């Protein structure tokens, strides 16, 4: 599994773990993720209200939870069996059965909310809300933060605490009037700053993050519209960072794992091997890179700049979603036996409009969010999240 060694300039990765060790960690990671997502879908019934601005670095302690310790969470009513449940009517009902979220504001990060991919958790970039929903709803707000949504800023991405089922904490990557930052959200409390001072620009704010272990948050940052900042070791822009301090207000400088990234940076780790791929946009090309011991290695470039907005790894393929060309494309994931990358295959084109972030499930299913309200031609049910299973799980490249 890629671990990453701190550096001031280009990134370096540690030696891979043994297959057995990596497999054990992957199983633990997915058991933890499924526990978290079960809590998200089944137990969370209310909205988190974060209306006050959090402009102070010394934010103080969290407010106590309102629910007494040991008191069970409310249980939702049983659902009508799917085959007997009549479809609802209304302006936000999409006739496409693959669509599982509708009438969203312009979207940021997205992740599956259950093992089958029928539930989604999605960030509304322009409202600062993190929502969970499924086809025909209802939508529930899991967290919210005030954001500056000008340009491509706002609620960029989010990650659930590895112990979310106990602490209900969510970490959010947001844009404020002064910077981009990581904040911690708790029910009934204001957002607490964890990492501040990530450069903000008119463009180039979009990044990504995920927990690679219970104590390590990997964060990818955009170049804030300044390509030179991406190679500047004193700047947090255009980097892959490792955050290990989660104390509110402390905001120590994170380790730099890799440098030199452009805008709209997305992370797509392979859950089985721990390999991390990074997709981004530059002034001359879009690209997918892999983080290796010697630094980021380019796997494929798109000189026509389709505006890659998201990526995901499943079933032996690396998938990318594009905004301008409105496609999902796939390249083969390199292996020791087959290290050569073949030309991208288009697996979906112009069915849902402009595409934003995506997430991949172990079963090969993809969840993809649209950004038609931002750059496309919005339909009445936009913006949306849809499910997509590539033919052959992504390996059918004929």
Determine the pLDDT at residue 22: 46
At 53-82, the pLDDT tens digits run 433 433 333 333 333 333 333 334 344 345
Residue 73 resides in a domain: no
pTM as predicted: 0.82
Residue whose structure tokens are 């540690």? 14
Please give the residue that has the higher pLDDT: either 248 or 169: 169
Q: Is residue 34 part of a domain?
A: no
- 58 vs 2, more confident: 2
pLDDT for the residue 271: 86
More confident residue, 294 or 355: 355
User: Is residue 48 domain-resident?
Assistant: no
Residue 231 in domain: yes
Q: What is the pLDDT confidence band of residue 2, given thresholds at 50, 70 and 90?
A: low
Residue 56 lies in a domain: no
In this predicted structure, the answer to whether residue 236 has a pLDDT above a threshold of 80 is: yes
271 and 257, same domain (yes or no): no
Is residue 29 included in any domain, yes or no?
no
Chain centroid, CA 387 distance in Å: 16
- Contact (Cβ atoms closer than 8 angstroms) between residue 150 and residue 141: no
Domain count along the chain: 2
Same structural domain, 268 and 238: no
Residue 105 has a pLDDT of 98
Lookup result for tokens 């939870």: 65
**Structural domain boundaries, residue 165:** 113-262
Which tokens belong to 390? 């590539």
Average pLDDT over residues 323-331: 98
Domain boundary among 201, 231, 262: 262
pLDDT at 286: 98
pLDDT above 90 (res 291)? yes
Residue 162 has pLDDT above 70, yes or no: yes
Which DSSP symbol is given to 43?
A: I
Average pLDDT, the chain: 84
* Whether 162 and 235 share a structural domain: yes
Q: What is the pLDDT of residue 32?
A: 55
Do 278 and 371 fall within a single domain? Answer: yes
- The string of DSSP letters for 208-220 reads EEEEEETTEEEEE
| pLDDT at residue number 90 | 93
Q: What's the CATH code of the domain at 149? A: 2.120.10.30
pLDDT for the residue 29 = 53
Tell which residue, 318, 225, 302, has the closest CA to residue 264: 225
Residue 83 lies in a domain: no
pLDDT of residue 376: 79
Q: Are residues 318 and 344 in the same domain?
A: yes
* 249 and 120 belong to one structural domain: yes
């Amino acid at each position: 599994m890629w671990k990453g060694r701190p550096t001031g300039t280009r990134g370096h990765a540690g030696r891979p773990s043994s297959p057995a060790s990596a497999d054990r960690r992957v199983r633990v990671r997915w058991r933890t993720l499924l526990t978290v997502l079960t809590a998200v879908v089944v137990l969370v019934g209310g909205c988190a209200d974060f209306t006050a601005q959090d402009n102070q670095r010394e934010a103080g302690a969290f407010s106590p939870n309102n629910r007494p310790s040991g008191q069970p969470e409310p249980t939702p009513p049983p659902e009508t069996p799917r085959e007997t449940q009549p479809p609802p009517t209304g302006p936000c009902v999409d006739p496409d059965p693959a669509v599982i979220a509708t009438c969203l504001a312009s979207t940021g990060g997205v992740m599956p909310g259950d093992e089958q991919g029928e539930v989604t958790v999605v960030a509304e970039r322009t409202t600062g809300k993190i929502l969970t929903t499924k086809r025909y709803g209802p939508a529930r707000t899991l967290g919210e933060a005030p954001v500056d949504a000008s340009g491509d800023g706002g609620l960029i991405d989010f990650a659930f605490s590895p112990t979310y089922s106990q602490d209900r904490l969510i970490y959010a990557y947001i844009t404020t009037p002064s910077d981009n930052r990581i904040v911690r959200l708790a029910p009934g409390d204001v957002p607490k700053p964890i990492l501040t001072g990530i450069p903000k620009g008119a463009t180039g704010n979009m990044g990504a993050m995920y927990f690679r272990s219970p104590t390590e948050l990997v964060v990818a940052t955009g170049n804030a519209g300044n390509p030179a900042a991406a190679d500047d070791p004193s700047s947090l822009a255009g980097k892959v960072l490792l955050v290990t301090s989660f104390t509110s207000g402390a905001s120590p400088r994170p380790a730099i794992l890799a440098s030199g990234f452009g805008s709209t940076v997305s992370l797509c780790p392979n859950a089985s091997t721990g390999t991390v791929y990074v997709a981004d946009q530059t002034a001359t090309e879009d690209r997918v890179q892999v983080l290796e011991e010697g630094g980021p290695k380019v796997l494929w470039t798109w000189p026509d700049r389709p505006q890659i907005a998201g990526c995901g790894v499943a079933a032996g393929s690396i998938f990318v979603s594009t905004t301008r060309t409105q496609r999902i494309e796939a390249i083969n994931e390199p292996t020791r036996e087959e290290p050569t990358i073949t030309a991208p295959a288009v697996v979906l084109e112009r069915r849902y409009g402009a595409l934003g972030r995506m997430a991949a499930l172990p079963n090969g299913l993809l969840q993809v969010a649209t950004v038609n309200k931002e750059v496309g031609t919005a339909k009445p049910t936009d913006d949306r999240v849809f499910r997509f299973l590539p033919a052959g799980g992504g390996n059918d490249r004929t």
